[in-house]
Amino acid sequence: MVSAQNTWLFDIYRKVPKDLTQPTYTGAIISVCCCLFILFLFLSELTGFITTEVVNELYVDDPDKDSGGKIDVSLNISLPNLHCELVGLDIQDEMGRHEVGHIDNSMKVPLNNGAGCRFEGQFSINKVPGNFHVSTHSATAQPQNPDMTHVIHKLSFGDTLQVQNVHGAFNALGGADRLTSNPLASHDYILKIVPTVYEDKSGKQRYSYQYTVANKEYVAYSHTGRIIPAIWFRYDLSPITVKYTERRQPLYRFITTICAIIGGTFTVAGILDSCIFTASEAWKKIQLGKMH
């Protein structure tokens, strides 16, 4: 058996008897400041440990392979000077799709006592360059001077992400006001759609799309005269995917940081206290030497 006396040989934290130590006011002040400083850093680190961090990365891929090559679109637009029976949605793309007067999952709400219209629609587009446009092309009889002034309330692609730590252009055209534009002008919105993935702490992924936009306004003519105006949304997809991932600081890193804070603070405080005490003792000796 190992005796208690031999066990003491392994104690690296040997204690100094209290009657061999000397407390000082300076040491007390430094000790209080040291504890307050440790408490402040501990609370700061604890807040960081509890808070969920969102990191992002870029890669080249199609993240939503189960979508069947489709992207869901949500459009909400008001045309205050165009009757609802004239408003329609047309969809075209490079895969040969050409749909005039899309009506599935759409709704028209009369505005201004029937003089205007708000179009709300949810539809899907193929993951190839194309366009969809609001126009009078599907109307039975074309108006002479259709007024295409409008306000875009919402244009979004994919799932709706309402995450506080992610500030992206998921509804970049939301609030676009073209009420003061030329009523007979066409509007081109050129969209660059960027696939976006959000993965929460549980590993669940949601697929959405951000987009950048450029726009122009023009009155178009052909050899037969003025072309009927429309509101065009021409889109292309970026090959780059943005991924946001929720992460929380590992427990071991939190413990390591707390140990470093406590150990470092006490070490620096001890050095500071030792320097002050040594200087104080030296000053006392100098004063005693002057007295003698």
Q: Residue 85 above 80 pLDDT?
A: yes
Q: pTM for the whole thing?
A: 0.71
Band of pLDDT at residue 125, cut at 50, 70 and 90: very high
Question: pLDDT (tens digit, 9 = 90+) per residue, 158-168?
Answer: 988 776 667 77
Band of pLDDT at residue 99, cut at 50, 70 and 90: very high
In this prediction, residues 103-108 reach a mean pLDDT of 91
Q: Residue 5 above 80 pLDDT?
A: no
Closest among 181, 262, 269, 267 to 229, alpha carbons compared: 181
Distance CA 81, CA 112 (A): 8
Report whether 159 contacts 206 (CB < 8 A).
yes
Q: Is the dihedral of CA 201, 205, 208, 209 positive or negative?
A: positive
- Count CB-CB contacts under 10 A for residue 17: 6
Min mean pLDDT across 48-52, 128-132, 153-157, 172-176 is at 48-52
Question: pLDDT (tens digit, 9 = 90+) per residue, 232-243?
Answer: 999 999 999 999
Q: Which residues pair with 278 in a beta bridge?
A: none
Report phi then psi at 41, rounded to 5.
-65, -35
Tokens of 289: 């030497």
3-state per-residue secondary structure call for the chain: CCCHHHHHHHCCCCCCCHHHCCCCHHHHHHHHHHHHHHHHHHHHHHHHHHCCEEEEEEEECCCCHHHCCEEEEEEEEEECCCCHHHCEEEEEECCCCEECCCCCCEEEEEECCCCEEEEEEEEEEECCCEEEEEECCCCCCCCCCCCCCCEEEEEEEECCCCCCCCCCCCCCCCCEECCCCCCCCEEEEEEEEEEEEEECCCCCEEEEEEEEEEEEEECCEECCEECCCCEEEEEEECCEEEEEEEECCCHHHHHHHHHHHHHHHHHHHHHHHHHHHHHHHHHHHHHHHHHC
User: Which residues are within 8 A (CB) of 53 and not within 5 positions of it... i.e. 6 or more apart?
Assistant: 246, 247, 248, 249
User: Which residues are within 8 A (CB) of 248 and not within 5 positions of it... i.e. 6 or more apart?
Assistant: 49, 52, 53, 201
Q: What percent of the chain has pLDDT over 90?
A: 43
Closest among 61, 73, 250 to 159, alpha carbons compared: 73
